[in-house]
Chains A and B, each alone.
Chain A
Amino acid sequence: MIKRSRLRPLRTLGHRVTKRIWRLGAGARFFGLTLISSGESFRRFHLIIREVYFTGVLSLIIILVSAFFVGMVLALQGYNTLQRYGSSEAIGVLVALALVRELGPVVTALLFAGRAGTAITAEIGLMKATEQLSAMEMMAVNPISRVIAPRFWAGVIAMPILATIFSMVGILGGYLVAVPLIGVDAGAFWSQMQANVDWRLDIVNGVIKSLVFGVACTMIALFEGYDAPPTAEGVSSATTRTVVTSSLTVLILDFVLTSFMISV
């Protein structure tokens, strides 16, 4: 007969796997409920606009600064490599493609998870801990449609806009390093970019990516807050989980989406 202590690791593993699957199911149900309860948010669009301000507009500073430096670094690194092959004029294409296809959506999503995602989780978690969500329920107001759905759609709307701004500012940063600083021809910088960046394959795909990341990051942040134990420790752990889960999800989704987009 196998000793009980020998079975303990197996039991712990089983418990953890079951817990993860249960949370995945609960998250899927929460996502479904949010979509079903979204009608009210669109009828009262000002609720979504208000949240776009909190999640999107207030994230602008970190997005602008990060994009500017990412663009400048890309230009420096790109020029360093391209000049060895005598194609330093292609620096504009390199910066633009890297930003529009990958760095714009991905870095924006990671910054969004760290800035807006944690704020959403902490806010919802504290609303739960201070019984504000229960109070809403008792006032016959559905918290999913009044609190969750507007924040969800605000995240979905804000993310592609932020990613677009990220790419634009990044390109500007790259231009400032490549043209005035290094001395690449401005005409070559812009014309090569215009000729080689494809509307559908590059720009539309980038926007699709940022939309998907917006859904994932916002939903993770909202679910973690809604599911957080109503204690200080519970909210703190939920906030940490938001950043970790969102970052990993974004990177995994990026690989999946890229492989689909390249194979199509």
Chain B
Amino acid sequence: MTQNIVEIDNLSFGYKGRMLHQGINMVFPRGKIVAIMGGSGSGKTTLLRLIGGQIKPNKGKVRVDGQVVHQQSREGIYLLRRKMGMLFQHGALFTDLSVFENVAFPIREHTDLPESMIHDLVLMKLNAVGLRGAHKLMPAELSGGMARRVALARAIALDPDIVMYDEPFAGLDPISMGVICVLIRTLNDALGTTSIIVSHDVKETFSIADYVYFVADGVVAAEGTPKDLQNSSLPFVHQFVHGEKDGPVPFHYAAGDYKRDLLGFEA
């Protein structure tokens, strides 16, 4: 068994002539919570999609449990994905299925367990996220935070080795954010999984991550423990961590001369 469950080796990816990643190296040790942070559009979610084998890199390799993801057949990728769980940004719950059926979905698809056992497993997973009492509700009846928790229960339904979180805190109220933070840490430690969090919420991510990668301009701009990065003097990290409006990431989108734009009447 390798020490790192996921390894990204010299990865480059781009499309439509634009390179999103250029020679990225990352490792994700077993049992740890590793965060990938960076500004909007820096390709954080794309990294999750590369790990999940939904897209192929232009160069370099992504290894999951020792196997190169993009060299697998479709069946091979599906076998690898059975070791993964993913929490999507807005939950991505199946809107025509109840909370119970959403969590039961991966169990029904991949096992032949009897109905009584599926029932118990689903209720245990929902209990772990505090929503056992909501098992009869439909996704439309849930708040954003509840939907995220149901999606988390679904992501861990088959006890995966890796759980990937795509912006787990985005758009949540402070209480829900706190609940999700605690759940990620607790479930990671209780289930012995490896968690990969993609986020730009500094406070919440730093409170639970063991290690953080900062992605900017297609490369890993900085990496370290949250404490290291909190005290980092690197201009980009400093601007990002302290939420400064101007710095290496400029406030203004690249534009021509302001005076000429105002007087030129060009739309």
Binding site for B on A (CB under 8 A): 126-127, 130-132, 134-135, 137-142, 146
- In the complex the two chains form, is B81's CB within 8 Å of A138's CB? yes
Q: Which of B79-109 contact A (CB under 8 A)?
A: 79, 81-82, 84, 86, 88-90, 92-95, 105-106, 109
Contacts of B71 in A (CB 8 A): none
Number of A-B pairs, beta carbon distance below 8 Å: 43
Q: Which of B48-68 contact A (CB under 8 A)?
A: 52, 54
Binding site for A on B (CB under 8 A): 52, 54, 78-79, 81-82, 84, 86, 88-90, 92-95, 105-106, 109-110
In the bound complex, what is the Cα–Cα distance between A135 and B93 (angstroms)?
Answer: 8
Name the CB-closest residue of B to A131.
Answer: B92
- In the complex the two chains form, is B95's CB within 8 Å of A132's CB? yes
- In the complex the two chains form, is B95's CB within 8 Å of A131's CB? no
In the bound complex, what is the Cα–Cα distance between A188 and B82 (angstroms)?
Answer: 68
- In the complex the two chains form, is B86's CB within 8 Å of A135's CB? yes
Contacts of A135 in B (CB 8 A): 86, 88, 92, 94
- In the complex the two chains form, is A131's CB within 8 Å of B110's CB? no
- In the complex the two chains form, is B95's CB within 8 Å of A130's CB? yes
Contacts of A127 in B (CB 8 A): 95
- In the complex the two chains form, is B78's CB within 8 Å of A140's CB? yes
* Partner pick for A139 among B54, B89, B93, B105, CB 8 A cutoff: B105
Contacts of B94 in A (CB 8 A): 132, 135
The 9 closest A-B pairs by CB, nearest first: A135-B92, A131-B92, A140-B81, A140-B78, A138-B86, A139-B106, A131-B88, A140-B82, A141-B109
Chain B nearest Cβ from A109, distance in angstroms: 26
- In the complex the two chains form, is A140's CB within 8 Å of B110's CB? yes
Contacts of B105 in A (CB 8 A): 139, 141
In the bound complex, what is the Cα–Cα distance between A131 and B52 (angstroms)?
Answer: 14
- In the complex the two chains form, is A134's CB within 8 Å of B54's CB? yes
Chain A nearest Cβ from B206, distance in angstroms: 26
Interface centre among A127, A134, A142 (most CB of B within 10 A): A134
- In the complex the two chains form, is B54's CB within 8 Å of A137's CB? yes
Known: A135-B94, A137-B81, A139-B109. 7 other contacts (CB 8 A): A132-B92, A138-B84, A139-B81, A140-B78, A140-B79, A141-B106, A142-B78
Chain A nearest Cβ from B247, distance in angstroms: 32
Contacts of A141 in B (CB 8 A): 105-106, 109
* Partner pick for A131 among B79, B81, B84, B89, CB 8 A cutoff: B89
Name the CB-closest residue of B to A126.
Answer: B95
Contacts of B52 in A (CB 8 A): 137-138
In the bound complex, what is the Cα–Cα distance between A81 and B82 (angstroms)?
Answer: 68
Contacts of A146 in B (CB 8 A): 109
Chain B nearest Cβ from A52, distance in angstroms: 15
Name the CB-closest residue of B to A139.
Answer: B106
- In the complex the two chains form, is B86's CB within 8 Å of A130's CB? no
Contacts of A137 in B (CB 8 A): 52, 54, 81
- In the complex the two chains form, is A134's CB within 8 Å of B109's CB? no
In the bound complex, what is the Cα–Cα distance between A146 and B106 (angstroms)?
Answer: 12
Chain A nearest Cβ from B56, distance in angstroms: 14
Contacts of B106 in A (CB 8 A): 139, 141
5 residue pairs of the A-B complex, CB under 8 angstroms, read A127-B95, A132-B95, A138-B84, A140-B78, A142-B78
Name the CB-closest residue of A to B54.
Answer: A137
Contacts of A140 in B (CB 8 A): 78-79, 81-82, 109-110
In the bound complex, what is the Cα–Cα distance between A62 and B105 (angstroms)?
Answer: 34
Interface centre among A127, A131, A139 (most CB of B within 10 A): A139
In the bound complex, what is the Cα–Cα distance between A135 and B151 (angstroms)?
Answer: 10
Chain B nearest Cβ from A15, distance in angstroms: 16
Contacts of B88 in A (CB 8 A): 131, 134-135
Contacts of B95 in A (CB 8 A): 126-127, 130, 132
